[in-house]
Amino acid sequence: MKKRKIAIMGFGTVGGGAYDILTKNREYIKATQGLDIEVKYILDRSDAPLKKHGVDPSLFCPSADALAADPEVELVIETMGGVEPARGFIVKMLEAGKSVVTANKELLAKSWAQLEPIAKAHDCGLFFEASCVGGVPVIRALGESFQGDKVQAVYGIINGTTNFILSKMSKEGLSYADALAEAQRLGFAEADPVSDVGGYDAAYKLSILASLAFHTCVPYADIFREGIESVTANDIKNAHELGYEIKLLAIGKRDGNDIEARVHPAFVPMDHPLASVSGAFNAVYLTGDHVGDLMFYGAGAGAHPTGSAIVSDVIKALGGSPKYCDFDNSGKLDKKLNFVGDFVSGYYICVTVDDKPGVLSRLATVLGDNSVSIKAAMQVPSAADTATVVFLTHRAHEKSVMKSLETIGRLAAVKSIDSMIRVL
């Protein structure tokens, strides 16, 4: 059996996980897939990560040019992260006719439209199962299992860091700051956590998933994005009293020519399967026009879950012809389609007001004047002479709710608008 030689660019957590699987399961892959895969090179800044991982330092390659020039290497795994120099290195590999397997969601969301034509021109592939939801095979499902269905919605929990933080706040009553500190201590959050807690990571992933689901480019820059930084312990407590959990959701919908794509915290009903997804786990819901609802659940990150997805792509790439997008991947939404900015949702609104007669009625009037109907309301004990009022609305337009809040914020009796969170 011919050895199929590959290389790894970036030997951190994920690159190391992929290497572990390729080496430990080498005989298993030979027996079941008919492929004898050998890692010939590992490219990194130095050979220190190889030594730390117990890998023979002779595999170290210091130069992307040298790697690209080796005709024996037919595929390269990219697990460097970030946009540059990863993008430039990937371009070198594709131009050298080497297929690339990447876990880099930010790079793919920003440069997919530029990279795929290069792969096509040089008859090689760009594979990215590991870019979204770790080891959960949702990319493959969207690309190969829904040919007969129109996907109407793809949504879920696709960032493990924020789900860990919100789960800690929910189960242990921690503040956002304390839950974030715990996530950082355990390695679930970076020292600079903004990509995760600000919703950027989820927006990158939603761009990829929604593009595949709806057969059109859904640019990440056009996705409505809001992070979890403003979610408080009181919001969690109020959510529980109303029968909800709070999760950071990525939501993509297509209705005819209308596309909706948004990332934000959301109240999720306790009886919805997504409400029970806790810790660093992820889950993605897909709704097809004939298959109905499906849920994919599993570890959304980590060395071996993500490494498993990478190895799956390596086997697919070495075992067949590359597959490209079935839509015009121009980097822009198709001209026949429209982004929905004024989307419809339920809303949780928390307001601190003067504790005196008539205030609740005035708030309800403002909402009603803007066609926002109240589903539930409750008063929460607050400081002397003030009251905290919580509303849960029926489904309403985003612009109507924002206009209501502008008016409410100007009322003399209103001390503060404390929170507004959308409801799934």
Residue boundaries of the structural domains of the chain: 3-131, 138-300, 344-423
Output the six-digit token pair for 39: 């890692």
CA atoms within 13 A on the CB side of 104: 27
Active site residues: 205
pLDDT band at 322 (very low <50, low <70, confident <90, very high): confident
Q: Which CATH number fits domain 138-300: 3.40.190.10, 1.20.120.530, 3.30.420.40, 3.30.360.10?
A: 3.30.360.10
Q: What are the beta bridge partners of residue 419?
A: 350
Which residue carries 């609104």 as its tokens? 349
Residue 145 has pLDDT above 90, yes or no: no
Average pLDDT, the chain: 94
pLDDT of residue 323: 86
From the CB of residue 318, how many other CB atoms can be counted at a distance below 10 Å? 20
On the question of pLDDT at 381 being above 80, the answer is: no
Tens of pLDDT, residue by residue over 265-314, are 999 999 999 999 999 899 999 999 999 999 999 988 888 999 999 999 99
Confidence of residue 8 (pLDDT cuts 50, 70, 90): very high
Reported confidence tier of residue 221, pLDDT bands at 50, 70, 90: very high
Taking domain 3-131, whether its CATH number is 3.40.50.720 is answered by yes
Residue 34: pLDDT band (50, 70, 90) is very high
Kindly indicate whether the domain formed by 344-423 is annotated with CATH number 3.30.70.260.
yes
The kind and range of the H/E element at 407 are helix 398-409
Q: In what order do the strands lie in the sheet with 73-78?
A: 60-61, 36-43, 3-9, 73-78, 99-102, 126-127
Q: 138-300: same fold as 3-131?
A: no
On whether the pTM is more than 0.85, the answer is: yes
Task: With H, G, I as helix, E, B as strand and everything else as coil, classify residue 322.
Answer: coil
Report residue 49 as tokens: 């990560």
Cβ-Cβ contacts under 8 Å for 116 (sequence gap 6 or more) = 126, 324, 325, 329
Whether pLDDT at 263 is above 90: yes
Task: Please compute the mean of the pLDDT values over residues 332-359 and round it to a whole number.
Answer: 92
